[in-house]
Every structure is written in structure tokens, then in C-alpha cells.
């Protein structure tokens, strides 16, 4: 494998890891506050549809992004009402969110655009276009470092940079601010937070809201940057992979980056079987490669590669008087 | 702590949830510019207006009975089995192997063989997540989701590379031999003088599904194992204290659950398609969640809910055929049912409980006011 192929491979790794990273950080906020969320998939899907739909109608991708975030926030609110206010089962609520998004997006797309459950292809201002970082063209010919900067680091859409910037930001919010401390506490021991006079309900809604915003960006990235338009079920299990990455990352921001990059690499390799053949000298089945993230998750979950301890109060509704 | 009478708990709460789901579904239909009343009429006539419609409704209902029971059994032990999709897919593989490689002398023996293989394969696919939860503490919800994806990849590989007949481009097995053809409801009902549509895929598996409902009822409420299972679901620590092994209960419950999900394959793979194709399950594993929630995890409730969802499925297909409403409407309705009967259960329950409390207080004799 030559250097350029490697750069191309890493480039598509970054592209494919971005929605996973955003969704993974979304799940991180929610689960650190004690709200399990298997609805990441649904929120991403809803956001992908609404951002593509609004971007295609208005011609502005930024309005599309806002619409995507709004759609994702609406589903977050639903999940919050079900699992915080009415103390319902968070897993069941997440399943409902996923189905709601899967059905509604096609239903609305069909009645809106009549194109078999997809949106028109986005063109021009309806898409996030690659950003060329300063001096990228100038240094492109510099050996080794030039291509890394020009091909790998430069030339992504702004959402990619937002996603990568969200990692240190998440770390800072969670581990260096009072809000973050309380948010983590509410996922470990809500009673203690309550005793301290801080509202458990408000904190959990805030966490679920942040989760909604991040999922919204992830979804918008899928339909307006990675692809040009929405197609049915386009999130394609990424929400579940993000959840898997979250467990892999042991609910930590920097590990989330590494985990999603790893899963992104699997995705990139899946489209380049020739690279694997060249590297290992074997023909690896595409289906095996596709299943690898899931198999790895199961192995990690089983604790064969270090123990991942979820937030202690995760999945349990908080009842004030007991 | 029984605030509500039993009939309210069993009938009123699910009914109100269902009505709420129906109202919102109607609003959704209105919002996409269609007429909900006309839609319901079309669904009813399409799903229940002919023996052809009934044949499809009952065919789908058979699938949902199996997957619904699978989720319900797990619910009783407070295990959330989202893996019905993968377990049913693997069940299909078991059925295909049984039908393709054994020369069955009669369909009834083939059915028995297929039941064993479908149940076995489904059970194995559920046993791994169960073992990982019981021994290694990995969350069963996440592992069963992962096993759905792994099952899809595995089946894709097997159908493309192993079981695909030579010269065929289709990722599917060969047709099953004539000898394993299951009698359809038309063939079952014709001798007793009932004319049932020949074209509909409903078949003898329906009776197996009904039998499974009865057996699950016996298991849950009439056996020692069922008692242990429910005890474990109510309180794990109390069950442990009473000498019930969490490992044993988790394993057995999930094995039964997986076997039930796997059994679905005798209906769709053996009874209908008569060969194994990619994605034969078509989401029935997930619908099982809605069916179990709506049926309150009771086999009889599951039976009724499965028929309702069979109706929705067939009615939805008719809608997609005759109107501009896509099939995905069913997914929305399914989501609303899961939402209201599962996640927003307390939203319906809390006001009802308050109402019953108030009624009870009003009926109770007023305490005598002490004299001055």
C-alpha cells in the first residue's frame, strides 16, 4: 500500500467517523446524566431528513442544520418526557423514538416531495462544502507533510471540524465546570444531587437537550455533507455503532474520539477490500468486515478487553420520595 | 398498593393508550393531507373484508404471535430481548437446513423437524447474549441489538456463498421440495366446508402459534419455573434469597424467548416463501416488542395484539396500494403503540389511579365528626 492510498483511507476514516463521533458525544452527555438513549439512531435520522428537506426548500444549508437540530431536539424532548417526567422505561422509549423517526421521515418525505421517501438532491448552497484550510494548496507539494495537511486535515466540511472541536469541549464541560460535575453526579447518585438542592429533573433535561443538539448536527452531516440529500433509513445503524463506541470509550470524551475513529476505519476499509488484501494477503469477506464493529462491541461488552462500568444510576428513573 | 381494580389495569390502561395512539395516527394522516376515516375504511375492508384479506392478516398475526411471545416471556423475567429479529433470521436458517437436507416422508414430520431446528437455532442465538449478561455482566439490550446485525451479516454470507444454488444470482436458497409444503388454511378448512381464499399465505403454523400461546401461559402461571421466572422479574435480590439462581433463570428465559422468536420461521420461511431469502423476517422481531407491550406480556393479550398488528400490516399494505399513504404509516403506528403502552405508561396510569382513589374515597362512609 502506497502513501497516497493510506492518506485516502484515513481521509474517508475521518469522514465516516464524524457522525459517529457526534452521536457518541451526544450519548455521552445523556448517559453520564443517567438517561440511557438507544434513540440516537432515530434522532440522527430525523435530523438528516429535516435538514435535507429544509435545505432543499430554502436553499440554505444553515437553515437546514437548524431544522435538523430542532427535529432532533423534539425527539429528545419526547424521550425526556417519557423517561424523566413520567419515569417510563428508557429503553422502550428509545425504541419508540427510533421507530417514530424511521416511519415519519419517509411519510413526510413522500407527502412533501413525492420522490419515494427521499428529498431532492441538494445542490449549491444546500450543501456543506469542503473548506480549504489556509496554505493547503501551497504546501501540497511538500513531501510527506504536504499531503497530510492538504488531503487529510484540510478539505473537510465545517461540521467535521465542529465534531473534532466538540471532543475537548465536552471534556472541559464535563470535568472542569460546575455544571459538568453536577451532570456526572446525577448519573451516579441523583439522591445526593437532590439533597444538595440541585434539581435532578432540570439537569437531566439539560443533558438530554445537549444530546439532541449533537445528534441533530450528526444527522445534518449525513444528509448535507456526507451525501447530498436524504434517503430512507440513511442513518443505517450508525446510532447503534455510536452506542457501541460509547461503551468502548468507557463513557469518556477522548476515548470516544479514538473509538469512533476506529469504527470509521472499519467503515473505510469496507469500501476498500483491495487494501486489506494487499495488507494481509488474504481475501477477507465483506460481510465479516461489516459485522466486525458489532462483534468487537460484544467482546468489549463481555469485559474481555478491560471493564467498562456505566454510570451507576443509568437507566433508572429518579423518584424524589422513597 | 392495588389502587386500581384488575379490569382497569388489564383493559382500561391499554385501551386508553391505544386510543391515544390512534388519535395521533389520525392526526398524522391528516397532516400528510389524507382522509383518516377513508383510510380506516380502506384498511378494514382490505384486511378483514374478504377471506383473502383475513388470510394475510392471520399470516402476519402468526409471525407476531411468535415474536410477541418471545419478548413477553423475557419481559416476565425483566429481560428486554430486542434480538427477535436476529433470532428469527437464524430460525429461518434452521428451517432451511431441515427442509433442504432431510428427505421428509410427510409434511407433518417435516413441520416437527422444522420446529425443532427453528427453535434450536433461535435459542442458540439468544443464549450467547444471555450467557454474556449472566456471567460477564454485559447489557442484554445492547448485545441483542449487536446480534441482530451480526445475524444479518452471517445470513448474507451464508446465502451468498454457501446455500445459493449454482447458477442463481439471487442471494437465496433453492426452493424447498414439494414434500415439506405446509397445508394452507384453505386446505385445512376446505374439508369442513369452509371456503377460504387459496391465494392467502395463512397456513397451519397459525395453529402452532396458538398452541405456543397456550403453552407459554401454562409455563408462566402454572409451573414452578414460571413462578421462579416471575419472582426473578419482580425482585432479583428476593429471588436470589429464595434460592433462585439468576444465571439459570436468565439462561432458560432467553433460550425459551429465542426459541419462540426462531419458531416464526416455520410460518414465513416454510409456510409462505418456501425458500430462505435475505431479510425474511421483515421487522417482525421488532413488532414483537409492540405486541408484547400492548398484550401486557400475557399470552392471551399477545394473541389479540398480534391479530391487531396483523390487521394493521395487511391494512397498511392495502393503503400503500390504493392511496398515496406509504407503508411506513404502520411503522409510525407501531412507534406510537410502543410509546404509549410502554414508555408513557405512567402518563395514562397516574391520572387513572388518582381517579379511582377519588372514587373510592367518595364511596367510603365519611368518618364521624367528633362532637364539640
B271 vs A299, A318, B106, B165, B310, CA distance in Å? 36, 48, 15, 21, 16
A309: contact with B, CB 8 A cutoff: no
- Give the span between the Cα atoms of A271 and A279, in whole angstroms: 15
pLDDT band at residue B369 under the 50/70/90 scheme: low
pLDDT at residue B366 tops 80: no
Q: What is the mean pLDDT of residues B296-318?
A: 94
Q: What is the distance in angstroms between the Cα of A105 and the nearest Cα belonging to chain B?
A: 9
Chain B residue numbers touching A298 (CB-CB < 8 A): 129, 132, 138, 143, 146-147, 150
CB of B72 less than 8 A from some CB of A: no
Tell how far CA A150 is from the center of its chain: 25
> Do A145 and A139 touch, CB atoms closer than 8 A?
yes
Gap between the Cα atoms of A203 and A197, Å rounded:
12
Give, as one character, the DSSP assignment of residue B273. I
Is the per-residue pLDDT at A280 higher than 80?
Answer: no
Note which residues in 139-198 of chain B have CB less than 8 A from chain A: 139, 141-143, 145-147, 149-150, 153-154, 156-157, 160-161
Cβ-Cβ contacts under 8 Å between A and B: the total is: 148
% of chain A surpassing 90 pLDDT = 60
Residue B284: is it exposed, middle or buried by C-beta count within 10 angstroms (0-12/13-18/19+)?
A: buried
Element (H, E) at A57: helix A40-58
A121-125, A162-166, B64-68, B292-296: least confidently modelled range: A121-125
Instruction: Report the complex ipTM.
Output: 0.91
Distance of CA A181 to the CA centre of its chain: 23
pTM above 0.80, yes or no: yes
* B-interface mutation test, from A301, A308, A317, A319, most B Cβ less than 10 A away: A301
Give residue B82's pLDDT band: very low, low, confident or very high (50, 70, 90). Answer: very high
Q: Is the pLDDT of residue B104 over 80?
A: yes
pLDDT tens per residue across span B168-214: 888 899 999 988 889 998 888 888 888 888 888 999 999 999 999 99
Please determine, for residue B284, whether its predicted confidence score (pLDDT) is greater than 90: yes
Q: A287 vs B153: CB contact, 8 Å cut-off?
A: yes
Please report which confidence band the pLDDT of residue A305 belongs to, taking 50, 70 and 90 as the band edges.
low
Cβ B138–A110 below 8 Å, yes or no?
Answer: no
State yes or no: pLDDT of A284 exceeds 80: no
pLDDT exceeds 60 at position B372: no
Determine the 3-state secondary structure of B82 from DSSP.
coil
Query: How far is Cα B87 from Cα B121, in angstroms, rounded to an integer?
Result: 7
- Long-range pairs, B5-12, Cβ under 8 A, ≥24: B5/B356, B8/B352, B8/B356, B10/B296, B10/B298, B10/B301, B12/B352
- pLDDT (0 to 100) of residue A6: 87
| SS3 at position A257 | helix
Interchain CB distance below 8 Å, A107 and B347: no
pLDDT computed for residue A222 by the predictor: 96
pLDDT for residue A153? 85
Report pLDDT for B118.
97
Nearest CA in chain A to B290: A96
B249, burial (CB in 10 Å: exposed 0-12, middle 13-18, buried 19+): buried
The residue that leads in pLDDT, B11 or A166, is A166
**Closest approach of B199 to chain A, Cα-based (Å):** 28
Cross-chain Cβ contact A240/B150 below 8 Å: no
At a CB cut-off of 8 Å and minimum separation 6, what does B222 contact? none
- Interface mutation vs chain B, best among A96, A102, A244, A266, most B CBs within 10 Å: A96
Q: What is the pLDDT of residue A205?
A: 97
Q: What are the residue ranges of helices labelled H in chain B?
A: 6-7, 13-31, 36-48, 51-76, 84-101, 107-136, 140-161, 185-189, 205-222, 224-234, 236-241, 246-265, 284-294, 299-322, 329-338, 345-363
Helices A158-176 and A200-221: angle between axes, nearest 10 degrees: 160
Beta-carbon contacts of B108 under 8 Å, excluding residues fewer than 6 positions away, are: none
Asked whether the predicted pLDDT for residue B100 surpasses 90, the reply is: yes
CB contact under 8 A, B32 and A287: no
Comparing alpha-carbon positions, the chain A residue that sits nearest to B159 is A287
End-to-end distance of chain A based on CA atoms, in angstroms? Answer: 63
What average pLDDT does this structure show over B81-102? 95
Q: Lowest mean pLDDT of A21-30, A68-77, A300-309, name the range.
A: A300-309
Interacting residues of A109 by C-beta distance below 8 A, sequence separation 6+: A49, A53, A115, A117, A118, A119, A230, A232
A269 touches A276 (CB < 8 A): yes
Considering chain B, what is the average pLDDT of its residues?
91
Residue-wise over B325-356: b if at least 16 C-beta within 10 A, else e?
bbbbbbbbbbbbbbbbbbbbbbbbbeebbeeb
Average pLDDT, chain A: 89
Residue with the three cell numbers 404509516: B329
Per the DSSP assignment, residues forming a β-bridge with B23 are none
Residue to substitute from A42, A74, A79, A107, interface B, most B β-carbons within 10 A: A107
Please report the sign of the dihedral spanned by the C-alpha atoms of residue B162, residue B166, residue B168, residue B172.
negative
Per-residue pLDDT, B297: 92
Residues 223-282, chain B: which have Cβ within 8 Å of A?
none
| C-alpha to C-alpha distance for B266 and B88, rounded to whole angstroms | 10
Give pLDDT, residue B213: 97
Name the residue facing A95 among B28, B289, B344 (closest C-beta): B289
The rounded distance, in Å, linking the Cα atoms of B362 and B351 is 16
Chain B residue with minimum CA distance to A289: B153
A236 contact B CB<8A = no
Length, in residues, of chain B = 372
Within 8 A of A288 by CB-CB distance, chain B residues are 153, 157
Listed range (A2-6, A110-114, A163-167, A254-258) with the worst mean pLDDT: A2-6
User: What length does chain A have?
Assistant: 322
Whole-number pLDDT of residue B367: 62
CA distances from A72 to A44, A109, A212, A242, B58 (A): 7, 16, 5, 16, 37
Check residue A322 and give its pLDDT.
56
Of all residues in chain B, what percent carry a pLDDT higher than 90?
Answer: 67
Interface contact flag, A297 B146, Cβ < 8 Å: yes
Backbone φ and ψ for B277, nearest 5 degrees, come out as -115, 170
Distance between B303 CA and the closest CA of chain A, angstroms: 21
Choice between A282 and B207, residue whose per-residue pLDDT is larger? B207
B368: pLDDT strictly greater than 70: no
What mean pLDDT comes out for the span A12-27?
96
In this prediction, residue B370 carries a pLDDT of: 64
Which residues touch B188 (CB under 8 Å, ≥6 apart)? B203, B204
pLDDT level of residue A1 (50, 70, 90 thresholds): low
Q: What residues 169-208 of chain A have any CB closer than 8 A to a CB of chain B?
A: none
Interchain CB contact of B334 with A (< 8 Å): yes
CB contact under 8 A, A86 and B334: no
What is the spatial distance between Cα B26 and Cα B120, in angstroms, rounded to a whole number? 42
Looking at the DSSP bridge assignments, the partners of residue B203 are B184
Amino acid at each position: 500500500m502506497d502513501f497516497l492510498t493510506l492518506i485516502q483511507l484515513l481521509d474517508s476514516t475521518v469522514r465516516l467517523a464524524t457522525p459517529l463521533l457526534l452521536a457518541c458525544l451526544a450519548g455521552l452527555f445523556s448517559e453520564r446524566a443517567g438517561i440511557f438513549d438507544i434513540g440516537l439512531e432515530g434522532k440522527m435520522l430525523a435530523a438528516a431528513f429535516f435538514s435535507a428537506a429544509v435545505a432543499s426548500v430554502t436553499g440554505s444549508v444553515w437553515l437546514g442544520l437548524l431544522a435538523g437540530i430542532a427535529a432532533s431536539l423534539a425527539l429528545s424532548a419526547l424521550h425526556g418526557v417519557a423517561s424523566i417526567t413520567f419515569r417510563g422505561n428508557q429503553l422502550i422509549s428509545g425504541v419508540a423514538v427510533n421507530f417514530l423517526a424511521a416511519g415519519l421521515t419517509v411519510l413526510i418525505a413522500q407527502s412533501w416531495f413525492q420522490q419515494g421517501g427521499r428529498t431532492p438532491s441538494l445542490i449549491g448552497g444546500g450543501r456543506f462544502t469542503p473548506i480549504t484550510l489556509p496554505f493547503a494548496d501551497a504546501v501540497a507539494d511538500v513531501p510527506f507533510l504536504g499531503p497530510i495537511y492538504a488531503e487529510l486535515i484540510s478539505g473537510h466540511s465545517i461540521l467535521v471540524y465542529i465534531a473534532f472541536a466538540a471532543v475537548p469541549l465536552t471534556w472541559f464541560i464535563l470535568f472542569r465546570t460546575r455544571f459538568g460535575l453536577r451532570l456526572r453526579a446525577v448519573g451516579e447518585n441523583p439522591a445526593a444531587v437532590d439533597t444538595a438542592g440541585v434539581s435532578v429533573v432540570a439537569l437531566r433535561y439539560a443533558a438530554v437537550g445537549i444530546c439532541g443538539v449533537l445528534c441533530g448536527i450528526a444527522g445534518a452531516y449525513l444528509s448535507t455533507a456526507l451525501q447530498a440529500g436524504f434517503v430512507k433509513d440513511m442513518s443505517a445503524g450508525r446510532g447503534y455503532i455510536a452506542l457501541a463506541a460509547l461503551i468502548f470509550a468507557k463513557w469518556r470524551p477522548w476515548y470516544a474520539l479514538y473509538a469512533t475513529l476506529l469504527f470509521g476505519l472499519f467503515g473505510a476499509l469496507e469500501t476498500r477490500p483491495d487494501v486489506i488484501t494487499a495488507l494481509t494477503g488474504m481475501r477477507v469477506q465483506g460481510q465479516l468486515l461489516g459485522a466486525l464493529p458489532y462483534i468487537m462491541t460484544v467482546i468489549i461488552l463481555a469485559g474481555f478487553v478491560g471493564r467498562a462500568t456505566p454510570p451507576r444510576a443509568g437507566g433508572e428513573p429518579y423518584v424524589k420520595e422513597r | 398498593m392495588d389502587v386500581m381494580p384488575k379490569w382497569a389495569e388489564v383493559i382500561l390502561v391499554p385501551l386508553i393508550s391505544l386510543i391515544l395512539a390512534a388519535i395521533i395516527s389520525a392526526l398524522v394522516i391528516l397532516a400528510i393531507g389524507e382522509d383518516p376515516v377513508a383510510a380506516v375504511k380502506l384498511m378494514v375492508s382490505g384486511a378483514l373484508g374478504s377471506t383473502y384479506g383475513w388470510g394475510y392478516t392471520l399470516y402476519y398475526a402468526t409471525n407476531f404471535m411468535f415474536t410477541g411471545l418471545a419478548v413477553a416471556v423475557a419481559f416476565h423475567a425483566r429481560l428486554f430481548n430486542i434480538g427477535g429479529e436476529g433470532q428469527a433470521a437464524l430460525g429461518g436458517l434452521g428451517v432451511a437446513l431441515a427442509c433442504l437436507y432431510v428427505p421428509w416422508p410427510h409434511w407433518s414430520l417435516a413441520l416437527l423437524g422444522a420446529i425443532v431446528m427453528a427453535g434450536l437455532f433461535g435459542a442458540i442465538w439468544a443464549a450467547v447474549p444471555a450467557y454474556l449478561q449472566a456471567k460477564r455482566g454485559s447489557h442484554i439490550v445492547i448485545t441483542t441489538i449487536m446480534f441482530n446485525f451480526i445475524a444479518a451479516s452471517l445470513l448474507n454470507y451464508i446465502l451468498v456463498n454457501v446455500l445459493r444454488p449454482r447458477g442463481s444470482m439471487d442471494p437465496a436458497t433453492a426452493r424447498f421440495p414439494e414434500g415439506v409444503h405446509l397445508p394452507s388454511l384453505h386446505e385445512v378448512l376446505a374439508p369442513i366446508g369452509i371456503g377460504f381464499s387459496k391465494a392467502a399465505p395463512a397456513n397451519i403454523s397459525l395453529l402452532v402459534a396458538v398452541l405456543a400461546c397456550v403453552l407459554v401461559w401454562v409455563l408462566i402461571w402454572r409451573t414452578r419455573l414460571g413462578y421462579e421466572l416471575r419472582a426473578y422479574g419482580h425482585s432479583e435480590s428476593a429471588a436470589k434469597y429464595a434460592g433462585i439462581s439468576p444465571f439459570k433463570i436468565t439462561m432458560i428465559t432467553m433460550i425459551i424467548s429465542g426459541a419462540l422468536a426462531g419458531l416464526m420461521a416455520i410460518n414465513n420461511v416454510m409456510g409462505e416463501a418456501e425458500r430462505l431469502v435475505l431479510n425474511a423476517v421483515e421487522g417482525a422481531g421488532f413488532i414483537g416488542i409492540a405486541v408484547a407491550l400492548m398484550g401486557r406480556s400475557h399470552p392471551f393479550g399477545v394473541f389479540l395484539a398480534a391479530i391487531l398488528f396483523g390487521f394493521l400490516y395487511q391494512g397498511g399494505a392495502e393503503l400503500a396500494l390504493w392511496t398515496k399513504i406509504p407503508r411506513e404509516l404502520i411503522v409510525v403506528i407501531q412507534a406510537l403503540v410502543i410509546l404509549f403502552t410502554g414508555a408513557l405508561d405512567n402518563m395514562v396510569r397516574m391520572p387513572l389511579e388518582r381517579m379511582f382513589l377519588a372514587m373510592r374515597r367518595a364511596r367510603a362512609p365519611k368518618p364521624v365528626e367528633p362532637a364539640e
